[in-house]
Chains A and B, each alone.
Chain A
């Protein structure tokens, strides 16, 4: 099924005359499910444990996605449903209780336990929110028990993080009425990037800044009508809605990729917190200049190169904007598993006219288009990269964009380099 729609302009005063055409497709998708987010979330939240309630497939996915690279015993595991569990539901809850006991005995330092729903647990309608409530009342003094779904029938790849963070929002303490404005940065960022942003906000004079997720879930930030939040990741629609339900207001901005995106993102906070414009420029200028200098190294190689994104992480639109606006690349097709129009309202108009945006996927038809377009670089999942390379098409693994630090001024050069490296490699190889 393929449907073309024209995006209605969100803002009547928008200067962009022709909103981009969006190709909506349905068919085979080649994407990870939301469970994959556990691979980075468990590194970020150091007092949390993720227990997937699922099948052997779920366990196998996690170890394949993590590449069994993790040296220490990871803070995630799978409760594998077996034949005898499928016989009766009461049995399933007892079994889950037994496993959670076993786990918490082994890892007493865990402060938050996420029960993570999967495709099989959703299909057999195993009520994990009920299980979480029950276990929370049993262990609540020591370990908080929460749940969310990372199932592939409901979530695509990064939507797992969205579901996880949305599950944390009701746990955030209420901010006191009449308290001062608070800034909340939303989205799991590598610690080094988070620290850079916190330093910048500090220099801007915004001191009341908290992050969701917090590194230790034991100290979740408060939320209320005086909370203003910035999304650091574009895939956090549910979390944004949950925060808004608690009175928080989203600051609209470009996502912090590249010199321009990061400046715009910081500016949104500066304006909301009444930071003087001159002061803002003074604070931001050094980082912004560094970012531009770093990006310039890749400009020569990337300028004019055509790029296609296959749907993966929902980072596709902001990254295509960065590559076209700051590196003069030409986006051919920008595929995304889900196009969140509201969160992309600032980003979409900055894509060049005529960019083909596709939402959803029909894998074989999309690959036919890639073969017809022959872009210089295709951003795709791990299952597709080598096969496309073998067809003579250069690729970039999309998953690297989720695992590596790419946000902010100091990483802008690295981000550009991620796209430049496959092309440079292609140029140097003589085999």
Chain B
């Protein structure tokens, strides 16, 4: 057993729901008790979808157990097939139904339905949401894709690609698809099929027509792309175009495979982000310590942007999906940090506390942690809450995505000139440290946790040094305290006085 308060991922059948809900013409019959219907609200409330997820739950009860749960499932399948007339039907079990072993696959097959039935086996006690989504999408592609389809001869037509992985409840998937489609169009490349988002089973049949598969979200589309590579010989592009550098690499890779000229896209669609980052107001971003956590793909992409495109220093990097532990370890090694691979948010909280970063990039869990600690935060990955499904176009991918990322990550920080003004006016009697930066109203947090966490047995501060420390602006005070204490311990000093404080400042000067 595992003790959990919040979870980063739901059970695998929620992943299957994300695929079914993203698609058109699909229905999912889920053998599950009534409580599992809560999952509908993820889509209708958090993502504000205007229709119910295409899911029928059998909602069996205690009195049905050992009697007719199998019959209940068959009735539900039969009714759903008649009422919704899907092009393809998914059947599966949630965690409870998995235990009663009614064999949804066999029961559905026995009904001889007029549409293809894809039976899902998603082990709820071993796997989680992303895996469930990837497995569901892979099963559908494998069963529905027409293996005899090949790309038409290349002469006289534009290259065709599939975009794999965009899904319901994904972080900015809707906008990323628009952005990547536009990028490809500029290069003279057309999109054959986007899947699962907005695709129908009929669309999945035609996947083989494309020259290339673009895996936008490896967590969801990776497994299907691997199969398509083997079974249909379609090459896959796995560079995820999040950030300016990654987008350029993506363009060059696509151009190479599709044999088109990359410069049309690179010239036509440059991002403002590089100049925004080079302009002098951004100087203060240099070396800001940032802690990054999310799904592996978004976290690794964020680390590259942070390090190469904003000049931040990475003080923590990790992901909650163990399936991508290898990729995460490689990335962490590159930035010289220990990778944090865990789905225990309390462990993440401890790591953030220990690292005391100046900016946290994470999921909604990290947003809550950062809020509690009074550390600025931006969201970069699922799971996210309703405010992270914005009305406006707000991609993460492509050059516009890089612009969006610059704005979203820099906004929570105190701005360049303002940092100096805060220092200048610190002693003014009308100025209060805790008021915070002028562009962040009502977010002031009285005391960053990092500051208050002097450990037991640490070198004691003299009163005078404590007073001096309070003259340091609040947003760097935690770092100053931590550095000074580390320095004093390293030097074997018995107390921290004003001299120690300034010795430490000189030692860490950069």
Contacts and interface: CB of A to CB of B under 8 A. Distances in A.
Nearest to B2: A80
Interface string B1-38: 11111110111011000000000000000000111111
B124 interface: yes
Interface in B75-102: 76, 79, 83, 94-96, 99-100
Contacts of A59: 4-7
B50 interface: yes
A159 to B, nearest CB: 11
Contact of A99 (B1, B42, B83, B368): B1
A390 B11 contact: no
B49 A153 contact: no
A86 interface: yes
A152 B36 contact: yes
B11 A102 contact: no
Contacts of A31: 34-35, 37
Interface in B469-498: none
B1 A80 contact: yes
Given A74-B5, A153-B60, A382 B372 contact: no
A120 B59 CA distance: 14
Contact of A120 (B38, B41, B96): B96
A376 interface: no
Q: Which 7 A-B pairs have the closest CB atoms?
A: A33-B35, A152-B35, A383-B40, A390-B50, A119-B96, A55-B95, A382-B41
A96 interface: yes
B76 A86 contact: no
A386 B48 contact: yes
Contacts of A77: 3-5
B124 A73 contact: no
Contacts of A81: 1, 125
12 contacts: A55-B124, A57-B36, A57-B94, A76-B5, A77-B3, A77-B5, A96-B1, A120-B96, A122-B62, A154-B61, A381-B41, A389-B50
A141 B298 CA distance: 49
Interface in A56-79: 56-61, 63-65, 67-68, 71, 73-74, 76-79
A103 interface: yes
A24 to B, nearest CB: 14
A206 B37 CA distance: 44
Contacts of B52: 383-384, 387
Interface string A75-102: 0111111110110000010011011001
Interface of B: 1-7, 9-11, 13-14, 33-42, 44-45, 48-52, 56-62, 65, 76, 79, 83, 94-96, 99-100, 123-126, 128, 364-365, 368, 371-372, 385
A103 B126 CA distance: 23
B7 A63 contact: yes
B364 A68 contact: yes
B382 to A, nearest CB: 13
Contact of B45 (A33, A156, A382): A382
Contacts of B5: 59, 73-74, 76-78
Contact of B11 (A35, A55, A71, A86): A55
Contact of B62 (A56, A153, A382): A153
B51 A390 contact: yes
Given A35-B35, A386-B45, A55 B57 contact: no
A61 B364 contact: no
A29 interface: yes
A162 to B, nearest CB: 15
B4 A387 contact: no
B365 to A, nearest CB: 8
A34 B61 CA distance: 13
Nearest to B75: A27
A383 B48 CA distance: 10
Interface in A210-236: none
A95 B125 CA distance: 15
B99 A123 contact: yes
Nearest to B372: A71
A76 B100 CA distance: 27
A265 interface: no
A333 interface: no
A28 B59 contact: yes
B57 A65 contact: no
Nearest to A77: B5
Contacts of A80: 1-4
Interface string A136-151: 0000000000000001
B126 A33 contact: no
A45 to B, nearest CB: 18
Nearest to B371: A71
Contacts of A86: 99, 125
A59 B45 CA distance: 18
A35 B76 CA distance: 25
Interface centre among B10, B37, B94 (most CB of A within 10 A): B37
A153 B50 contact: no
Contact of B10 (A30, A56, A83): A56
A83 B125 contact: yes
